[in-house]
Chain A
């Protein structure tokens, strides 16, 4: 074997090992992050964290119960805005529209998807907070809901398009009208993918902080109803992390663990649902 070939083989093995290292490094970052959060957050999680309200500045103890509920309310309201628009809009794109309208809608959705979250926050402030003269859960939910729309829209369209023709044709051959076909055959066939998309969209906005800074504001107490300010987990993490109080740092880690844990669980759930396969085989 000539020296040249030996060299080339060596380079090949070396470079490929290097790429393996790159992959290893990238994946280990995830475990490092989880590790730190579990280590620092794990020892700070206690019953008080989940059930108590924040204590005055400088006093130890207390918890983030209101932030947890606040985040849940925000996500629920955000879904009420983002999911229907994305879902029905996606149905329109996949089933009813002509190509011109479809392109416009898709383009708008992609544009919306690329808007930095802080700019969404500015928009929500101008459109909801200022006119109503109040920071509110609704304003925060509006911002988050906007961010959910593009994800649910594109995914709904994609999964509906993935439903094979013969299903639709079979239904129509039996005399079903178009909307009946969609409601009873096409959507159920694609529901796994759509559900996945909704879950992923939720996971995406659950951790968003920037848009909440000018909309949900923050609340030391339980948030009441929907038109008043509310505490939320991401904003609390931010506030506590940049503060000088060790007790607040401890709580920030705990909150980080809870938040990331939730997001990862949703993600894993969503992807498992999807990987179990679409309900009917593709043709």
Chain B
């Protein structure tokens, strides 16, 4: 008798738990950690407005986002490194239709560091950054760094480089920039979501890199701007192609995108690192949602299209609060039309 009672309670509990999940439409996405703060804000706000739709976005890195979207195990992906032609073809071959890129916001990869005693912004020249990440500039008081930071007391300590251990769009942006300003980097390491780093420690996601920097004295790494701000760690300026040391902020990132906005290609894949202009921040980038052009499930398709429309309008208003720059007007207009390509 007692055993029956226990069994009954168990089954009721099970039923209750299964019921606990509302009958909302669940849409799964995976990808970049670069925009995770704004995406998680967006999906939370969107769910408040549309209680029957749940966007479950997991920040697992752009590399995983591309792979999961290609395998079809998630409904959409996200990446700050646009898919290359080979990956696009891979998707096309597998699914018989294309995958589309939708820019969402503009962000910046900033050099952040943890040097005991230094709370201000250090100036970094392109050569200094390349040298640090190539492992050739090994101490903080190296002339390559000190030269641009006169008056700052840099310690004679080893630089501890921190990069990503997972496939990362942020890595793509950073290495894209380094490849443009350093031939040695381009030939030795190259640009990709995952590269053979000459030196340094690996952290998982923007989150992991930020965490490591916070805990490791004399470290330097590259993270999306909001991670440095939210965790109150200092980040430096980078000298742009116009010759000025620029700090990443809304204005400088928007300036970087200004040129590209006018010449935006149809598939929205474009690189804006080392953009021309006196005020542009050189390590800026768009970040994209990867959405299949053909979505079988009509409910999901309409939900995704609805979200994209919202994102281009109300969604943009949340960007600046989290230090992401809004998309240029021309890009927004182009994207609104492109949403119709999702069938």
> If A242-B208, A242-B211 touch, does A133 touch B57 (CB 8 Å cutoff)?
no
Q: Which residues of B21-70 are within 8 A (CB) of A?
A: 21-24, 26, 28, 30, 36-37, 40-41, 43-44, 47, 54, 56-59
> If A57-B36, A72-B17, A134-B73 touch, does A243 touch B22 (CB 8 Å cutoff)?
no
Task: Determine whether the beta carbon of A56 is less than 8 Å from that of B231.
Answer: no
A224, B27: Cα distance in complex, Å: 12
Q: A229 at interface (Cβ–Cβ under 8 A)?
A: yes
Task: Determine whether the beta carbon of A229 is less than 8 Å from that of B28.
Answer: yes
Q: Which residues of A208-254 are within 8 A (CB) of B?
A: 217-225, 228-229, 239, 242-245
Q: Give the number of chain B interface residues (Cβ < 8 Å).
A: 41
- Residue in contact with A133 in the complex, picked from B21, B36, B72, CB distance below 8 Å: B72
Task: Determine whether the beta carbon of A222 is less than 8 Å from that of B21.
Answer: yes
Do most interface residues of chain A lie in helix, strand or loop, or is the interface mixed? Answer: loop
Task: Determine whether the beta carbon of A133 is less than 8 Å from that of B73.
Answer: yes
Q: A73 at interface (Cβ–Cβ under 8 A)?
A: yes
Q: B214 at interface (Cβ–Cβ under 8 A)?
A: yes
Task: Determine whether the beta carbon of A56 is less than 8 Å from that of B56.
Answer: no
> If A57-B37, A72-B17, A242-B203 touch, does A221 touch B211 (CB 8 Å cutoff)?
no
Q: A16 at interface (Cβ–Cβ under 8 A)?
A: no
Q: State the Cβ distance, B300 to closest chain A Cβ, in Å.
A: 12
Q: B298 at interface (Cβ–Cβ under 8 A)?
A: no
- Residue in contact with A222 in the complex, picked from B22, B28, B43, B226, CB distance below 8 Å: B22
Task: Determine whether the beta carbon of A225 is less than 8 Å from that of B73.
Answer: no
Q: A69 at interface (Cβ–Cβ under 8 A)?
A: yes
B47 and chain A: residue at smallest CB distance = A221
A221, B43: Cα distance in complex, Å: 11
Q: A87 at interface (Cβ–Cβ under 8 A)?
A: no
Task: Determine whether the beta carbon of A56 is less than 8 Å from that of B26.
Answer: no
> If A69-B20, A129-B73 touch, does A219 touch B56 (CB 8 Å cutoff)?
yes
Chain A residues lying within 8 Å of B227, measured Cβ to Cβ, are: 244
Q: State the Cβ distance, B282 to closest chain A Cβ, in Å.
A: 25
6 more A-B contacts (CB under 8 A) besides A57-B37, A243-B207? Answer: A56-B40, A130-B71, A220-B56, A222-B22, A229-B56, A245-B230
User: Interface residues, chain A, CB within 8 Å of chain B?
Assistant: 55-58, 69, 72-73, 76, 129-130, 133-135, 217-225, 228-229, 239, 242-245
- Considering the complex of A and B, which 5 residue pairs feature the smallest CB-CB distances, nearest first? A224-B21, A244-B210, A56-B40, A243-B207, A244-B211
30 A-B pairs within 8 Å (CB atoms) are namely: A56-B43, A57-B36, A57-B41, A58-B37, A69-B17, A69-B20, A76-B14, A130-B71, A217-B28, A217-B30, A217-B58, A218-B56, A220-B40, A220-B43, A220-B56, A221-B21, A221-B24, A221-B47, A221-B54, A222-B21, A224-B24, A225-B21, A228-B21, A229-B26, A229-B28, A229-B58, A239-B207, A242-B207, A244-B214, A244-B231
